[in-house]
A = this chain, B = another copy of it.
Amino acid sequence: MDCFHLHILGCGSALPTKRHYPTAQIVHLRGKLFMIDCGEGSQLQFRQTGLNYNRIGDIFISHLHGDHCFGLLGMISTMGLLGRTAPLRIHARPELEELMQPHLDYFCRDLPYRVEFVSFDPDKHSLVYEDRSLEVYCFPLKHRVKSAGFLFREKARQRHIIKEMMDFYGIPLKEIPAIKEGADFVDSEGRLISNSRLTRPPKAPLSYAFCSDTAYDENIIKYIKGVDLLYYEATFGDDLAELAETTMHSTASQAAGIAHKAKVGQLVIGHYSARYTNEEILLQQARAVFPNTELADEGKRFDVAAVAENNK
């Protein structure tokens, strides 16, 4: 499945409301699922997506506040009940393993799979995950506790072979991998056939960035520059800018300011304070600064490829 989707499982903040769950989301990239944060109730919201629990290989935890990680134990238990055998990796600052291991030993002692904690330093910009088609980086945010954002960036895709041209020049199959990577072809008589005659350029790699709880901080911009889709917490409206500063959160306008300066494709805001019974005011304030803004909502899906296409 050649998709790159963001599924919102929860976009409320710490206080529960009748409409929102605490932070959790799924990045669905070509059949693999990556979870970002895992607030209480994540497993219940995940169930609503119809996606398969076992497809989640890696969970990234931005910071150790309860509204971003209290759902982990339930999620881990459920995967066990569903007979998972593949290891699950949880990427977080090292304290999480110390805290969770005694609970895993007690509540999940018969787990049929391994939970592996992979620690990273939220103060550093670093590569935390890599596979054939994707790199995930963490980068520092500015919150009351160490907090990280995550950048999901597709690796450059291979060029598309033009089959007719391959046939025309009689190019052997074994040459194809190199040509897909951009190599020219030299035939048996020494003639060079330029790669651009044999291939079409691939789609541009897509990217998504998640910015968890953070005060306004322009240092973030460099890490998320030009991403197609940006999720950014916008806990408060302009009316509570002072409270945002004290609690080291962002307002909707500040989120939009960062999106504008980072020249992202689309902004999605979430992590709404329970004070707002309707987030339209946050949307209006964000759109005044960065028009291509949308509200996150539980069950909502954002298609990163479509965002990129619309921004061409």
Contact = CB atoms under 8 A, between A and B. Distances in A.
Interface of A: 14-18, 21-22, 40-41, 43-44, 47-48, 64-67, 70-71, 73-74, 77-78, 81-82, 95, 99, 102-103, 106-108
A77 B81 contact: no
B16 A47 contact: yes
Nearest to A12: B44
Contact of A82 (B15, B74, B81, B95): B15
B16 A44 contact: yes
A47 B16 CA distance: 7
Contacts of A22: 74
Contacts of A82: 15
A112 to B, nearest CB: 15
B71 A40 contact: yes
14 contacts: A14-B77, A15-B78, A15-B81, A16-B47, A18-B48, A40-B74, A41-B41, A66-B108, A70-B73, A70-B74, A70-B77, A95-B106, A99-B103, A103-B103
A66 B73 CA distance: 8
Contacts of A15: 78, 81-82
A107 B47 CA distance: 27
Closest 8 CB pairs of A and B: A40-B74, A41-B41, A16-B47, A66-B77, A16-B44, A70-B74, A66-B107, A16-B43
A107 B43 contact: no
Given A22-B74, A70-B77, 7 more contacts: A14-B78, A15-B82, A40-B71, A64-B107, A99-B102, A99-B103, A99-B106
Given A44-B41, A71-B40, A73-B66, A16 B107 contact: no
Nearest to A13: B81
A35 to B, nearest CB: 15
Contacts of A106: 64, 95, 99
A36 to B, nearest CB: 19
Contacts of A17: 47
A75 to B, nearest CB: 9
Contacts of A21: 44
Contacts of A47: 16-18
A242 to B, nearest CB: 19
A275 B149 CA distance: 38
A21 B66 CA distance: 19
Nearest to A43: B16
A74 B78 contact: no
A289 to B, nearest CB: 29
Given A99-B103, A99-B106, A107-B65, A81 B41 contact: no
Contact of A66 (B14, B44, B74, B99): B74
B102 A16 contact: no
A70 B41 CA distance: 10
Contacts of A102: 99, 102
Contacts of A18: 47-48
